[in-house]
Amino acid sequence: MSLEPENLSRRNWLKLGSCGFGSLALAGLTGQGHAGPQTPRAPHFTPRAKRMIFLFMNGGPSQQDTLDYKPKLFEEDGKQGKNKQKLLAPLWKFSQHGKSGLWISELLPHLAKQADHLCVVNSMQTDSRAHPLAIPQLHTGSFQFVRPSLGAWVLYGLGSPNQNLPGYVTIKPTRTFGGPSNYGNAFLPSAYQATRIGWEGQPVKDAKIGNLSNKEAGPEISGKILDLSQSMNRRLLQRSGRDPEVQGVIDSLNLSNNMQEAIPQVLDLARESPETLKLYGVGGKDTDDFGRQCLLARQLVESGVRFVEIANSGWDQHSALDTALPKRCREVDQPIAALLIDLERRGLLDDTLVFWGGEFGRQPETQILSGKVAVGRDHNAAGYTIWMAGGGVRGGLVHGTTDDLGYEAVHDKVHLHDLHATMLHLLGLDHTKLTYRYGGRDFRLTNIHGHVVEGLLT
Amino acid sequence: MAWKILLHEGGRCLSIGSACLLLLAAITSKAQESTPESADPELSPDKDKRQRHWAFQPPRSAGAPKVSNTAWSRSFIDSYILAKLEENDLQPMADASRATLVRRLYFDLIGLPPSPRQVQSFIDDPAPDAVARLVDHLLASPRFGERWGRHWLDVVRFAESSGREFNFTYPHAWPYRDYVIDSFNADKPYDRFICEQIAGDLLPEDAYEAAEDREDRLVATSMLSFGTKRHNSGGMAYRMEIVDDQIDITCRAILGMTVACARCHDHKFDPIPTRDYYSLAGIFLSTEPLYGTIQQKYSNNPTDLLPLGPKGVELHAAAEEHEKTVGSSKKSRDEKKTELTKAEEAKKEVAKRESALEETAKKEKAAKKEVDVKQVAEKSPDAGPEVVEVKEAPPEQSTTGEELKKATGERKALEEKIARLKTELAQLEAGVVELEKNRPARPPYAMSARDRPDPADTKVAIRGELSQPGDLAPRGFLTAFPAPDVPAIDPGQSGRLQLAKWMTSRHNPLSARVVVNRVWHHLFGRGLVESVDNFGITGTPPSHRELLDAMAVEFMDDGWSIKRTVRRIVLSRTYQLNCATNEKNQKIDPENRLLWRSTPRRLPVEIIRDAVLAVSGQLELEPPAGSPVTALGDQLVRGVDTKKLQPPSNHRSIYLPVIRDYAPEMFDRFDFPSSSLVSGKRAVTNVPSQALFLRNSEFVAGQAKHAARRLLADSSAADDAGRIDLALRWTFSRPATAEEREEALKFLEQIRNPGTEVDDRDAIAWAALFVSLFSTAEFRYLVDIGE
C-alpha cells in the first residue's frame, strides 16, 4: 500500500493501522467517532513517556561553564590550546549536588537542587558547528533536505491525547536558520506542523493563538452560526449516504468549538496559585518570560498536548561570556527547576520527557573577537552537553565524557541521531519503523542512522 | 564553510544510499514472506525483470474492450471503466443532476463557483450538446489557466524565496507563474511546454516567432532556477546541490521517476545506473541557472537575470551603465573627500606648528625683555636666581620668525586648497545625488537559465563523493529508455535541448502517461496510478492500465493537448456520475477505485478562498502585475514583517506570494503543500483548526460582511426568503429547501435584536448567515446537489 499523502479519513487511518501502527486507538478524551490525523494511535511498544517538553537553548550553551566539569581546564587556564587560542578556565565554580553528586556550576543553583532528576549527556556530537545547519538538524534530523520536525514525527506516530487542543505546540520559535521549517511538517500532512504561539523576541504574555473567537459576532451569535452550519451538515450527511468526509466536517466543527473554549483556559495563568507563579519566577526581573513559557508548557502537557517546544535565545557567547551567560542562566534556571518540581508534584514527571539543550556546545579555548574586550567561546559540534529528565531516563546520571579539556566527546559518544532515536524510543516509537513514504522512498527522522542509547534508560 | 558542506555532501550520499538499501530490505523481506508464486517479480532486483515493469513499456492502445451494456458508454474511457465494473459485478450509479454537474465543471475547470444565472442557463438548456458547449466555454476562459497552472506549480515546487536556513526573497520568480498560467490558457502542447522549461533558451530561433514568445521560452527555464538553495554555500558542492535538485525536479515532474537516488549508487529498483545520473549531471553542470543578484551577506553566488519587455535589454544596459556612472562619480567624490581630509589634517598639523612657533616667538620676545630688565637689575642688590635661566636662553632665536612666516604661508595655502576642495566636493556630491535621483527605470526581470561557456561531461562521483572521481560519464539520458529519434548531444552545448526532446519523444514510455495521469488525478481526486509522482517499481500499480495507455496514446496523437484531454475526460459518462452509493458496490469496492460513482472531493485551499471572494463580490479577476515580492527586493525573509510578506489582496489565490515556509495562514490550515518539495498530490485533512479559521478568522468575517452588503443591495431578492435563496445560490449553486429557508429565517430573527440599531443588526445577521454557509461541508466539497 501507499503511504503517500492521502485523504486522511477514518478509512485510511485504519489502513495505516494495519501497516505497522498497531491497532487504532479511537476516541481520545472527547470520544469522537471520526478519526482525524491527531487521533491517538498505539505506539510500537509500551512507552516510558507519554508526552514531551523540548527546551531549546538557541545559540549553543557553554558546557564548560555549566554542566561538564573540567578540573584540568582550571589548571591549564591561559595555556596555548590545541587550536589557535588560549585555554579559558570556566569562569564559575563547580560543586557536587544531590545524592548523585552531579557536578554543576554556580550559574545554575536552582537546577542543581534537581540534580537527581537530570540525565546529563556530556558526550553529544552533531554534524555541523554552524547555526544555520545545526539548528535544522537538531529539529529535523537533517540539514541537507527539508524534513519533518521531531514534534511532527511524534504527532504523526502517536496522535495526541486531547482532541480539543493542538497536539504539537511551539512557543516563541526563531525565524532564523530554517525558521518555521524547524517546527514544520515537510512532506507529512500539514496537520502535523506545530501550532505557534508568538515569535522569538516577543514577550510571551503578548503572544496568542489566533482564530479562537469570533470577535465580530461574539460568543452567542457564534454559537448560533455553528448550530446552523451543523444542521445543514447533518442534512447533507443524510443526503450523501453518510459520507465520511461530511462526518469529518461535523466532527471538526464540534472539536473547534471545544478547542476555542479549551485553549484559552489552558493558556490562562490566572488560575495558577500565587505560590506556583512565584515558583516559576513569573513576575521576576529576569525570570518572568521564561517562567511563563515553562508554566505554559506544563499546562499544555498536563491538558493532553503531546509535544511542546519552548525556546530561550542568546546562548551564542562568542564574547561577553562573563556577563551574558549568567544572564541567560538566571532567565532559565529557576523556571526550569520549577517545571521539574511542578511536574513531579503533579505526578507527571514519570511519564513526561523533558529535554534541555542547544544546537551544539562551545570550545574550551577563549575567543576574543576584534573590537570586543570580553572573553567568549567558539562553537563546538564535536562535544557538547544536553540533559533529559522524567519519563524513562535515569536521573542523577552522567553519560559519556569529553577529553580532559572538553574539546570533543571521547567515551560513550552520543550522536544527535542517537538522541533522536532514544527520544522516540522513550515515547514508544521505534525510529526504524516510524516511516513515511514520499517520492518513492520511506523516510524516517533518523534517516539510516541512530541507535537507542540504552545507558540512559531506567 | 563550502569545504565543510562538501564533506557533508559525502555523508548525505551515503545516507541516501543506505536508505534505499533499507527500503529494499523491507520490500524484499515482505516479498519473501509471501508464497513464492505470489511474490511480485517486479520487486526482484533482476535487471531484465526490472526492465519489464509495466510503465517502462511503450503505451499501446489495445482497442476498446467488450462490454455487455453497450448503451452506457459515451467514449472509449467509459468502455474501459465499464468493462472493469462488469468484471467486478459493480453497477455504475446514475448520472449527476444538471445542477451538480454545472458546479462540478465550474470548480474543476476554472475553480470558481457558477453564478445563479450561469447555473440556470445550463439547467434550462435542452440541447444534447449543452455539456460540451459549457465545457468548451470554460476551457476557453482565462480562468482555466489560473486553476490548472497551480497544479503544475505544485509539481515544480514554484516559490518566490530560496527557503532553507537563509531564506532569501526571489523578487523575480513571478514571471514564471504567469508563463505557466498563459501556457495552460493557450493550451500549449505539453511537449512544447516541457521543452521550453528545460531548454527554452536553446530552441531554434524561428524567424516568425513573436518577441513575447521568445521571451516566454526564456522565462520558462526559471524552473531550473527557483529551487531551494543555500546561497551562503559555494564552489562545486553548491553547484552539485543545484544540479541534484534539477535532476530530481525534472525527472519526478515529467517522468515520475526518482532518479536522484542514483547519485550514490545504481538505483535499487528502477533500471537507472549511477552513470546515467552523472550523464544528466553533465548536462546541468553545463547549465548556468540565473536566479539573481542577492548581493549581500550570506550570499556568495550572484548571477545575472533576464530583463523583460521589448526594451528590457536596453533599459537594463542603460541602468547598469548608469550604475557604473554612479559608481565612478561616487569614487571621485570619495577620492575628493579623502583629499580634503588629508588637506585638513595637514592644515591642522601646520596650524599646530604655527601656534607653537608663535608661542616660541612670544617667549623669545619676553626673554629678550627680561634680559634687558636683568641688565638693569644686575645693578640692584635683589637679583633672583632666574637670572641664571635667562642667561641660558636658546641660541637660534633668530630663525623662529622665518619659520613662523613660512608656516603661516603654508597654512594659508592649505586653507585656500581646502576651500577649493570643499567647493569641488560639494559639486561632486551634488552630482552623485543628482545621478542617484535620476536612476533610469529598470525593466522587470525574470529568472532564467543558459548554457555555460564551457559545456563538458563530468565524472561519476563514487558513492556520491566529489572527492572520489570515477569514470567520465558522457552527457546523455536514462539508458533504459532509448529514443532513436533524438539527435546526439552537440558537444558545444549543454545537451538540455536533446534532453527535452528525449523526455518528450514518443519513444519515451513515461512522459505522456505521467501527465495524463496527473490530469485524471485532478478530475477524480485519485490518479489511475495513485502515486502520481512515482511510476517506478515502488509506485502503485495502475487501476486501469489499458485505459491509461489508450489515453496516453490519444494524447500524443492529438498534439499533446491538455485541454482536449481534460475535455475528453469531463465529457465521459464516468466523470458525470453522481456521488450516490449503494450497499453492494460499497461492499465490493469501498474506495471506489473502479469508479462506479463520483467520489465527493474537497476543493483545494485556493479555490475555497476564491469562492469566498466570489460570493462576497470582492474577487478581483484582473490578474495583478507582478508580485509584491518584487518590491521587497533582495532580502532575508526573516527580516520582513510577516504582514508585508502577505499584503492584503483580493486577487485569485494563485497570485498570492509563495514565500517558502511562510504560506498564508489559510493555506497552512487547508493542506497547501510545502513549496520546497515536489508535490503532485496534496494531502486532504479535516481538522479543527480549519473550522476555527472559517468560523473566526478576520478574513472570513470580513468577506461575510461584504457578502451581506452585496446581498442586501441585490434587487432581485425581494424579501428575506428571497435573500436566503440567493445566498444559497451563491454559495451552494442551488436554491434553499423549504426546511433550510425556515431555519435560516429563524436564525436571522434570533440575531436581529429589535430595539438597537436595526440596520446594523440586520447586516450582522446576514453576515452571520454567510459565516455559517462558508463553514459547511457543502461549501467546500463537491457533492450531489439534487435536481
From the CA of B407, how many Å to the nearest CA of chain A?
A: 39
- Strand pairing category for A307-313 and A168-171: parallel
pLDDT of residue B316: 93
Q: Which of residues 440-479 of B touch A (CB under 8 A)?
A: none
Closest C-alpha to B313, from B184, B445, B408: B445
On the 0-12 / 13-18 / 19+ scale of CB atoms within 10 A, B99 is buried
CB hemisphere CA count around B464 (13 angstroms): 25
From the CA of A123, how many Å to the nearest CA of chain B?
A: 21
CB B514 within 8 A of CB B254: yes
Alpha helices in B558-639 (DSSP H): 562-570, 583-588, 605-616, 628-632
Q: Which of residues 70-99 of A touch B (CB under 8 A)?
A: none
CB A326 within 8 A of CB A371: no
Band of pLDDT at residue A145, cut at 50, 70 and 90:
confident
Question: What angle (nearest 5°) sits at the alpha carbon of residue A142, between those of residues A138 and A144?
Answer: 135
CB B503 within 8 A of CB B513: no
| Sign of the torsion formed by the C-alpha atoms of A429, A432, A433 and A438 | positive
| Sign of the torsion formed by the C-alpha atoms of B311, B313, B318 and B320 | positive
Rg (CA), chain A: 23
Residues of chain A positioned with their CB less than 8 A from the CB of B598: none
| Sign of the torsion formed by the C-alpha atoms of B503, B508, B510 and B514 | positive
Intervals of chain B under pLDDT 70: 1-47, 294-297, 371-398, 753-759, 787
Report how far residue B528's alpha carbon sits from residue B514's, in angstroms, rounded to the nearest whole number.
Answer: 10
Instruction: Give yes or no for residue A429 having a pLDDT over 70.
Output: yes
Q: Which residues contact B124 (CB under 8 A, 6 or more apart)?
A: none
Confirm or reject contact between A225 and chain B (CB < 8 A). yes
For residue A310, how many other CB atoms are within 10 A of its CB? 27
The per-residue DSSP string of B446-495 comes to: E-EEEE-SS---EEEEGGG-TTSEEEEE-S---TTS--TTSPPPPTTS-S
Does B768 contact A184 at a Cβ distance shorter than 8 Å? no
Q: Which residues contact B702 (CB under 8 A, 6 or more apart)?
A: none
Determine what percent of chain B falls in helix, strand and coil, rounding each to the nearest 5: 55, 5, 40
From the CA of A187, how many Å to the nearest CA of chain B?
A: 7
Farthest CA pair distance, chain A: 82
Preferred mutation among B540, B583, B686 to probe A, highest tally of A CBs within 10 A: B686
Does A221 contact B743 at a Cβ distance shorter than 8 Å? no
Give helix B738-751 / helix B720-732 axis angle, nearest 10°: 110
Task: Taking residues A175-198, report their average pLDDT.
Answer: 89
Summarised one tens digit per residue, pLDDT across range A56-66 is 999 999 999 99
Does A240 contact B784 at a Cβ distance shorter than 8 Å? yes
For residue A19, the SS3 value is: helix
* Closest partner CB to A248 (pick from B536, B661, B686): B686
Residues of chain B positioned with their CB less than 8 A from the CB of A213: 696
Report how far residue B462's alpha carbon sits from residue B265's, in angstroms, rounded to the nearest whole number.
Answer: 8
pLDDT of residue B375: 62
Preferred mutation among A190, A199, A445 to probe B, highest tally of B CBs within 10 A: A190
CB B693 within 8 A of CB B700: yes
Report how far residue A51's alpha carbon sits from residue A158's, in angstroms, rounded to the nearest whole number.
Answer: 10
Report how far residue A142's alpha carbon sits from residue B9's, in angstroms, rounded to the nearest whole number.
Answer: 12
pLDDT of residue B297: 64
From the CA of A197, how many Å to the nearest CA of chain B?
A: 14
* Closest partner CB to A232 (pick from B540, B591, B740): B740
Band of pLDDT at residue A169, cut at 50, 70 and 90:
very high
Stretch (H or E) spanning A105: strand A102-105
Cell numbers placing A304: 493532553
pLDDT of residue B50: 76
Closest C-alpha to B447, from B228, B220, B243: B220
Residues of chain B positioned with their CB less than 8 A from the CB of A251: 686
Report how far residue B780's alpha carbon sits from residue B774's, in angstroms, rounded to the nearest whole number.
Answer: 8
The per-residue DSSP string of B22-84 comes to: HHHHHHHHHHHHS-TTTS-GGGS--HHHHHT-GGGSPP----PPP-S-TTT-SSHHHHHHHHH
For residue B323, how many other CB atoms are within 10 A of its CB? 14
pLDDT of residue A374: 74
Q: Which of A111-125, A232-246, B743-757 has the lowest mean pLDDT?
A: B743-757
* Closest partner CB to B696 (pick from A212, A246, A248): A212
Q: Which residues contact B215 (CB under 8 A, 6 or more apart)?
A: B306, B308, B309, B312
Q: Which amino acid is at B42?
A: E
* pTM, full prediction: 0.85
On the 0-12 / 13-18 / 19+ scale of CB atoms within 10 A, B264 is buried
For residue B698, the SS3 value is: helix
Report how far residue B81's alpha carbon sits from residue B565's, in angstroms, rounded to the nearest whole number.
Answer: 16
Summarised one tens digit per residue, pLDDT across range A47-85 is 999 999 999 999 999 999 999 999 999 999 999 999 888
* Closest partner CB to B674 (pick from A136, A186, A258): A186
- Grid coordinates 489508450 are at which residue? B550
CB A431 within 8 A of CB A420: yes
Report how far residue B286's alpha carbon sits from residue B491's, in angstroms, rounded to the nearest whole number.
Answer: 11
Residues of chain A positioned with their CB less than 8 A from the CB of B166: 132, 177
For residue A250, the SS3 value is: helix
Q: Which residues contact B753 (CB under 8 A, 6 or more apart)?
A: B761
- Strand pairing category for B445-446 and B306-307: antiparallel
- Strand pairing category for A361-362 and A102-105: unpaired
Instruction: Give yes or no for residue A293 having a pLDDT over 60.
Output: yes
Report how far residue B548's alpha carbon sits from residue B81's, in angstroms, rounded to the nearest whole number.
Answer: 11
pLDDT of residue B300: 78
Summarised one tens digit per residue, pLDDT across range B565-586 is 999 999 999 999 999 999 999 9
Determine what percent of chain A falls in helix, strand and coil, rounding each to the nearest 5: 35, 20, 45
- Grid coordinates 533504459 are at which residue? B480
Average pLDDT, rounded, for chain A: 89
CB B652 within 8 A of CB B606: yes
Report how far residue B194's alpha carbon sits from residue B187's, in angstroms, rounded to the nearest whole number.
Answer: 13
Domain boundaries, chain B: 63-141+516-601, 189-307+450-509, 328-439, 602-782
Average pLDDT, rounded, for chain B: 88
Give the torsion through C-alpha atoms of A290, A295, A299, A301, to 10 deg: 60
For residue B284, how many other CB atoms are within 10 A of its CB? 27
CB B608 within 8 A of CB B672: no
Residues of chain A positioned with their CB less than 8 A from the CB of B530: 2, 4
Q: E-strand spans in A287-383?
A: 307-313, 352-357, 361-362, 379-380
Farthest CA pair distance, chain B: 153
CB A50 within 8 A of CB A157: no
Residues of chain B positioned with their CB less than 8 A from the CB of A449: 15
Report the topology of domain A16-177+187-206+272-434.
Answer: Alkaline Phosphatase, subunit A (3.40.720)
Confirm or reject contact between B705 and chain A (CB < 8 A). yes
Q: Which residues contact B160 (CB under 8 A, 6 or more apart)?
A: B169, B170, B171, B173, B174, B226, B627, B629, B657, B658, B659
pLDDT of residue B576: 98
Give helix B496-503 / helix B190-199 axis angle, nearest 10°: 160
Three-state SS letters, B360-372: HHHHHHHHHHHHH
Preferred mutation among A155, A220, A229, A359 to probe B, highest tally of B CBs within 10 A: A229
- Rounded to 5 degrees, what are φ and ψ at B316? -60, -45
- Number of residues assigned to chain A: 458
- Strand pairing category for B458-461 and B469-473: antiparallel
Confirm or reject contact between B671 and chain A (CB < 8 A). yes
